[in-house]
Structure 1
Amino acid sequence: MKMVDVSIKFETIREATAEGKIYLSKETVELIRNKQIPKGDVLTASMMAGMMGAKKTPEILPFCHPIMIDQAFVEVELHEDGVYAKSFVRCIGRTGVEMEALTAVSAALLNVYDMCKAFDKNMIISDIKLLSKKGGKSDYEEDLSGLNCAVITLSDSCYKGEAQDKSGKTAIDIIENEFGGKVIDYTILPDDKEKLVEKLKSLIDKVDIIFTTGGTGFSKRDNTPEATKEVIEKEMIGFSEAMRIVGIKFTPKSLLSRAVCGIAGDHTLIINLPGSTGGVKDNLRMIAPLLKHAIRMAKGEKKH
């Protein structure tokens, strides 16, 4: 058993709304309305209990991440047949807040039960449900199904057979088995700019995405960014910036990457990935959900 690793996710605005109800006798409803419950104001106390429930969610549910809640409120209404509760929770984070919203409603209704249990033996807590959620990958994520991809590994030692290509194989595994894309071309090249330019040009408009691994460092033989810039027509700056920004969470050495991403031909995307397997995993999983949308934009099918 373990918590889900959200370290690679983007921090986005997360929101959730939930509701629920506790059904009460008419007599209990009247006691609440006339503020005759000895423990105090049931509605106000239940709103406070709901707020506490939202903030304490990770202490109750073992797999929920502790998060910094930016806004939360609970509305409690007295109906003819009981008390209705509705919650709203918002944060800027890497994981959603639906459990916080549901816990807020649950805590609010449980507080009604606690304050009224001496007067009503037949209370029923029911209809607790999530009304809406916003933020995170569910708002933008798409797989790579239906897309043809190519993987090019740049490595003198792998090209000579002196080392195994782990980064390229890792990229293929993630593309096909995690995102449903199809790799129709896999090549190992030496760190030679002209050979890479020639290979890239041969794949333009024949595949949807070209992933390169390696050759993004500072040595004289690291020419992948230069070759990519020679081929692309538009640079996708945000992708390369995001890979470096997120990468520093794992190692400051990610700032040494000169990786470039861009569009060539009608719609072919070229994505430079690091030469390390860890870098390939982190960066590919981060940007892959956005690539299908980027292709549609390149084709003019998406205007935003």
Structure 2
Amino acid sequence: MKNVGMKAETYRTAVASAILYAPPHCIELLRQGNTEKGDALKTARIAGILAAKRTDELIPLCHPLPIYRADVDYELHEQHVEIIATVETIGPTGVEMEALTAASLAGLTLYDMLKPHCEPEDLCLDQCKLQQKKGGKSHFSRVLAQPMPASVIVLSDTVAAGKKPDTAGQNILEILAEANFQQVQYQVIPDSPEQLLALIEQQKNQYPLILTVGGTGLGPKDLTVETLAPLLEREIPGLMEASRSFGQKRTPYAALSRGVAGYIENSLVMTLPGSRQGAQESLLAVLPALVHVFDVQKNIPHAGGYQ
């Protein structure tokens, strides 16, 4: 199965449809709810809903998801019935397969309940397809429409002294590259408030996004937050709230991160934890929000909002 453990949960919907061709007298039986086996439309609706809820058991590589809504509707025509299945969830992956499975099994149920009333060649289940999907990366982009520069500042005495490699900062560079941030400035400095202040002063109007890595914990030299918080002219507390919430579902230690985020003049500054996993989780949790900000505002503070 595909690993979706590092994907943020979003509200997701999918609509799928299928068509069952049948003789006119069979369509009339559907309208009347009067087949030999009972009310076919009602029975097929229940079958479709159950299919949506059990898709992960039927299709081997589908993830189990909480299904918040599953419904099946119909449009009856002279010689065919259109089946429309709608499925909704809040999860790390979409419900396209759930909607397609619901439409398919509802159609098969109608087929089964109509076959005593006509010849086999008179029935045909056709055109099962996805009509619409919302949520996830198709709705909340994780890639900038236009490339944009950024800066990554890693704070670590041991990394700056060459005593260990920088895995956290390098991972952040990879994530930014995938999101279409280009010409990313990368620097490693000791846990020094003075050097950090000097870099921020130098870069604050040069890079739309500045990410610091390290210094957000509870150690005696973790002073990134104390250094940068007084400089924030417009805080964005929701960014770090989302990061901590995302991280806490993966490790209880995320609650100890004191990171802050906001604008220092025209640069959006966000302080990430110093561990590789912590930095990765914190950035991935808010990447769609960052992409939205920069795609919409182009370095001008934006009021936000979504559709």
Scaled by the length of structure 2, the TM-score of the pair is 0.90
Separation (CA, whole Å) in 1 of partners of 2:19 and 2:258:
56
Contact 2:173 2:184 in 1 (8 A): no
CA distance in 2, matches of 1:157, 1:303: 39
| SS of alignment partner, residue 284 of structure 1 | helix
Please give the per-residue CA displacement for 1:255-293, whole angstroms capped at 9, x wherever unaligned. Answer: 111111111112x11111111111122222222222132
Partner of 1:187: 187
Question: Aligned to 2:130, what secondary structure does the other structure show?
Answer: strand
Identity of aligned residues (%): 37
SS at match of 1:39: coil
CA offset at residue 124 of structure 1? 1.5
Return the alpha-carbon distance in structure 1 between the equivalents of residues 66 and 304 of structure 2: 34
In 1, the alpha carbon distance for the partners of 2:76 and 2:303 equals 47
Amino acid aligned to 1:58:
D
Correspondence for 1:3? 2
Selected match of 2:84 from 83, 86, 93: 86
What displacement does 1:27 show? 4.2
Q: 2:11 aligns with which of 13, 27, 30?
A: 13
| Match of residue 115 from structure 2 | 117
AA of the residue aligned to 2:231: V
- Match in the other structure for 2:27: 29
Q: Bigger shift: 224-233 or 25-34?
A: 25-34
Distance 1:92 1:208 in 2: 31
Note closer, same or farther for the CA distance 1:131–1:269 as it changes in structure 2 (3 Å cut). same
* AA aligned opposite 1:115: M
- Structure 1 residue 105 displacement after superposition: 0.9
1:148 maps onto 2:152 in alignment: no
Q: Who is 1:275 aligned against? A: 274
Residue in structure 2 matched with residue 173 of structure 1 by the alignment: 174
Question: Which moved further from structure 2: 28-37 or 234-243?
Answer: 28-37
Alpha-carbon separation, structure 1, partners of 2:205 and 2:37? 72
Is 1:244 the counterpart of 2:236? The answer is no
**Which of 47, 50, 57 pairs up with 2:48?**
50
1:301 is displaced (CA, Å) by 6.0
Asked whether the 8 Å contact 2:141–2:292 carries over to 1, the reply is: no
Pair 1:157-2:139 in alignment: no
Whole-Å separation in 2 of the counterparts to 1:202 and 1:92: 42
> In the aligned structure 2, how far is the partner of 1:40 from the partner of 1:126?
23
Deviation, 1:103, is 1.2
* Bigger mean CA offset, 130-139 vs 164-173: 130-139
Distance 1:12 1:193, change over 3 A: same
- The amino acid that maps onto 1:20 is A
In the alignment, residue 78 of structure 2 is paired with which amino acid? E
Opposite residue 4 of structure 1, the aligned amino acid is N
Shift of 1:147: 0.9
Residue 97 in 1 paired to residue 98 in 2? no
> Within 1, Cα distance between the matches of 2:31 and 2:223?
75
* Paired amino acid for 1:293: H
Unaligned runs of 5+ in 2: none
CA RMSD, Structure 1 to Structure 2 (Å): 2.1
Q: Are 1:46 and 1:76, in contact at CA under 8 Å, matched by a contact in 2?
A: no
3-state SS of paired residue (2:54): helix
Residues 1:33 and 1:248: Cα distance change in structure 2 (over 3 Å): closer
AA partner of residue 242 (structure 2):
A
Query: d(CA) in 2 for partners of 1:303 and 1:3?
Result: 32
CA distance in 1, matches of 2:73, 2:98: 15
Determine the C-alpha separation between the residues in 2 that align with 1:56 and 1:160. 55
Task: Name the count of aligned residue pairs.
Answer: 300
Q: After superposition, what is the alpha-carbon deviation per residue over 1:107-160, rounded to whole angstroms, capped at 9, x for unaligned?
A: 111111122234222222112222222233332224145110111110111112
Runs of 4+, deviation exceeding 4 Å: 30-36, 300-303
Change (3 A) 1:189 1:262: same
**Is the CA contact (8 Å cut-off) linking 2:7 and 2:284 kept in structure 1?**
no
State whether residues 201 and 231 of structure 1, in contact with CA within 8 Å, keep that contact through their aligned partners in structure 2.
no
**Closer, same or farther: CA 38–56 of 1 in aligned 2, 3 Å:** same
Inter-partner Cα distance in structure 1 for 2:218 and 2:33: 73
Q: Which amino acid aligns with 2:137?
A: K
Distance, in Å, in 2 between the alignment partners of 1:133 and 1:163 is 45
Change in 2 beyond 3 A, CA 1:219/1:35: closer
CA–CA separation in structure 2 for the residues paired with 1:179 and 1:258: 25
